[in-house]
A and B are shown apart, each in its own frame.
Chain A
């Protein structure tokens, strides 16, 4: 999906494609409370601005590409795939991604099963691996509906399910995060791990996309 096609108008600046305004500084009361807490904690030495910088830099380094690399490796390496599915947390920790204390479970799409992830109560997501979740993942409408009418929601996302495909909806918790292992698309025989990783999208790691595009 293009980030731009959602809105039918062209603002020529970033605000046109946000579901909430992006302000350099918070201007609502609730956001000012957050900024005020931050300043109070820094002023009282609870943490430093340098520590804040380091945390932000680390979290900004988490990206969907990390998940895409895991998927590509799993497609090429059956032993790795088996370990990833059996014990996701340990397997990714070995690669430098630490989601502890939460568990990490990878669920595999097949010709008969499609997995989709949600966190109905909150917005739990494997952030330290994949980065910020999309806004829609945190939205009330997605969280409400995907457990009730997943096929309808998936259809709205453009997911076409082959007849007879079972849909499994995984509700994340404070202790357990999920990622979907999408199916390797046809037409990718002989591709390198890097090239394969390049076609794995963020939405496919959530299950909001089923078919990956191998291009022409």
Chain B
């Protein structure tokens, strides 16, 4: 088999049993999903290929350990930062704000 082209290129690899547990989509996951659809609809991202590129740039351990919508979130961040639609400073500040808000609410 050809050498995998990235952490996403796993077809044909050996792997363990398939965990068939079901997963209810959490509301924040729907929000990420909607953000991607709206970012496409509004032209903030060109197409899904851009997002996949972001996912394929993830470090293999991140690809492995992040959940599905966490990967999309990281990918969208790469893309929007690259395009200057969002700045790193604004993103860092907002992440800190959310973390503080969650801590205050006893979530984190």
Contact = CB atoms under 8 A, between A and B. Distances in A.
Interface of A: 1, 3, 6-7, 14, 17-20, 22-41, 46-47, 51-52, 55-56, 59-60, 118, 120-123, 132, 134-136, 138-145, 147-148, 153, 156-157, 171, 174
B8 to A, nearest CB: 5
Contacts of B26: 22-24, 26
A88 B74 CA distance: 33
A143 B11 contact: yes
Contacts, number: 197
A164 B9 CA distance: 31
| The 6 A-B residue pairs with the shortest CB-CB distance in the complex, in nearest-first order | A34-B73, A120-B11, A30-B70, A36-B94, A144-B15, A135-B23
Contacts of A38: 31-32, 35
Interface residues of B, number: 62
Instruction: Give the most central of B10, B21, B24, B85: most A CB within 10 Å.
Output: B21
Main secondary structure of the interface of B (DSSP, over half): helix
A30 B74 contact: yes
Given A29-B95, A120-B9, A139-B19, 11 more contacts: A6-B21, A17-B21, A24-B107, A31-B73, A34-B69, A46-B39, A121-B11, A122-B8, A134-B22, A135-B68, A157-B20
Contacts of A132: 25
A154 B16 CA distance: 14
Interface of B: 8-28, 30-35, 37-39, 42, 44, 48-49, 52, 55, 62, 64, 66-74, 76-77, 80, 85-86, 90-91, 94-95, 97-99, 102, 107-108
A156 B31 CA distance: 33
Given A18-B24, A32-B98, A40-B91, A59 B33 contact: yes
Contacts of A145: 13-15, 18
